[in-house]
Amino acid sequence: FLGSTADLPLLGKKIVVTAGPTRERIDPVRYISNFSSGKMGYAMAEVAAELGADTVLISGPVDLPKPSGVKLVQVESAAEMLESVLSYYDDASMVIKSAAVADYRPKEQHAQKMKKKDGDSTIELERTTDILKTLGDKKEKQILVGFAAETNDAIGYGKSKLTNKNLDYIIVNDVTDPGGGFGNDTNVVTLLTRKGNQYPFESMQKNELAKVLLKTIIAEEWPNSN
C-alpha cells in the first residue's frame, strides 16, 4: 500500500528547497555570512518529502541533521547555490527558496590569508546573482516560492518581491516579532499569493508551520489532490 493521493498530495512532484545562509569567502580563513539557522528550510524539505515529493534540499552551511527522505546537496557560496539550483530547475514542479543568500561577496578572494596593517581598512564588495529572480525570469511551469525576512513594512516589501521576482508565493515575516525569526524554533509569517490572497498564520513551531504553508499552497495549486 503506497498511500492515497490524499496522504501524499505531492507524489510524483519534484521539489527543490534551498536553506541556510551562504558563505562568501574573503580569504582562506574568513568569510561574510548571516545568522540564518536553516531551520525553516529544513522543515519545508522534510514536510515536502512526507507529503510524497521527490525532494532535493540544497543547503548552505548549517548545524542541522539531514531530514529523512530528502536528497541533501551541500553548497557554500551564492554562486554554488545558483549552479546547483539551476541543475535541478528544468524538472522541478516547485522551488522553495528559504535560503538567506548573501547579497554581496568580496570582489576579490585572496589566495593567502590577509595580514593586518596599521590603520583602518575596507573590503570591496560586488553583488551576487539574485537566484530567485534568475529562476523567475526563466520560469516555465515551475511554482516559485520565496521568503522575505523584513524588519519593517514586511507585507509591502513582500508584495514587491513577489512581483519583481515573478514568484507565485512569498512567505514574509517580521524578524523583530517576538514570536519568531532567525534562529528561533517558532516563526510568525504571512503567505502572500500571486493572485492576491493573504494568509496570516499565528506564531508556531517551524515544522508545524512548514506543514500548514505547504498544505495551503497545495490547496491553491492542486485543489483536487485532497
Positions annotated as catalytic residues are 34
Q: Which is nearer to ligand CTP, 44 or 70 (CB)?
A: 44
| Using rule CB under 5 A, residue 103 touches Ca ion | yes
| Count of positions (residues) in the chain | 226
Q: Is 161 helix (H, G, I), strand (E, B) or coil?
A: helix
Cell for 125?
564588495
Q: Which is nearer to ligand CTP, 47 or 132 (CB)?
A: 132
Tell me how far CA of residue 164 lies from CA of 89, 135, 150, 194, in angstroms: 19, 12, 16, 11
- CB 29 → ligand CTP: shortest distance, Å? 24
Tell me how far CA of residue 6 lies from CA of 11, 14, 69, 126, 219, in angstroms: 10, 17, 19, 47, 11
Q: Is 105 helix (H, G, I), strand (E, B) or coil?
A: strand
Q: For residues 56-85, which are near ligand CTP according to CB under 6 A?
A: 78
Nearest to 59 by CA among 104, 4, 109, 99: 99
* 7 annotated to a ligand binding site: no
- CB 116 → Ca ion: shortest distance, Å? 29
Q: Which is nearer to Ca ion, 39 or 165 (CB)?
A: 165
Cell for 112?
593567502
Q: Segment contacting Ca ion (CB under 5 A): 28-36, 96-104, 136-144, 187-195?
A: 96-104
Report how far residue 191's alpha carbon sits from residue 200's, in angstroms, rounded to the nearest whole number: 6
Q: Segment contacting ligand CTP (CB under 6 A): 25-33, 55-63, 95-103, 176-184?
A: 95-103
- CB 171 → Ca ion: shortest distance, Å? 15
Tell me how far CA of residue 64 lies from CA of 39, 74, 130, 174, 177, in angstroms: 8, 12, 25, 24, 24
Nearest to 80 by CA among 15, 31, 39: 31
| Using rule CB under 6 A, residue 147 touches ligand CTP | yes
| Using rule CB under 5 A, residue 130 touches Ca ion | no
What does DSSP say about strands 70-74 and 54-59: parallel, antiparallel, or unpaired? parallel
Q: Segment contacting ligand CTP (CB under 6 A): 59-67, 93-101, 105-113, 206-214?
A: 93-101
Q: Segment contacting ligand CTP (CB under 6 A): 45-53, 86-94, 140-148, 180-188?
A: 140-148
Which of residues 27, 80, 130, 208 is near ligand CTP by CB under 6 A?
130
Give the interface size with ligand CTP as a residue count (CB under 6 A).
14
| Using rule CB under 6 A, residue 201 touches ligand CTP | no
Q: Which parts of this chain interact with Ca ion (CB under 5 A)?
A: 103
Point out the annotated binding site for CTP.
103, 113, 147, 161, 165
